Amino acid sequence: MIRQVRSADASETRLLGSRLAAVAQPGDLLCLWGDLGAGKTVFAKGFGAGLGVPGTVTSPTFILMAEHEGRLPLFHVDLYRLADASDALAGGLLDERRAGGVTLVEWPDRLGDALPVDRVDVEIAGTGDDPRTITLRAGTPRLARYLAAAG
């Protein structure tokens, strides 16, 4: 279950995030993969806007997780500063509170084997001013709705 889309610029990446937020349901997990500057936070801004989050969604690199209120609670997690899953689990970043909202995780590779199969991987290839190739992978059939929402 894979879908690939092309994004010409940041506004298109933001729009994709917004479209995907329209199908978000409580308990969903989206993992954002890509190099520094790929557009993970730009995607998260669009996703937040699509959930009706007031204000601006910014990268929670130094606080690790930001919570935003919208149609569903948005838990935006940035694991860049962590070494591995034990740090995230010990810090309470992945707990039962997330079941009522949707979670976006930047730098999900830090979770290693702790990453659940029931997730959507959003892989953003490209940096700088170049267009992006964004690959969406639904880990389970219930998440295929994200692929359809991508357009």
Summarize the confidence of residues 25-49 as an average pLDDT: 95
For residue 139, count CB atoms less than 10 angstroms from its CB and return exposed for 0-12, middle for 13-18, buried for 19 or more: middle
SS3 79: coil
pTM passes above 0.95: no
Given the DSSP bridges, would you call strands 102-106 and 29-33 parallel, antiparallel or unpaired?
parallel
Structural domains in the chain, sorted by start:
2-149 (3.40.50.300)
Backbone φ, ψ for residue 33 (5° rounding): -110, 145
Tell me if 16 sits within 8 A of 122, measured CB to CB: no
Confidence of residue 132 (pLDDT cuts 50, 70, 90): very high
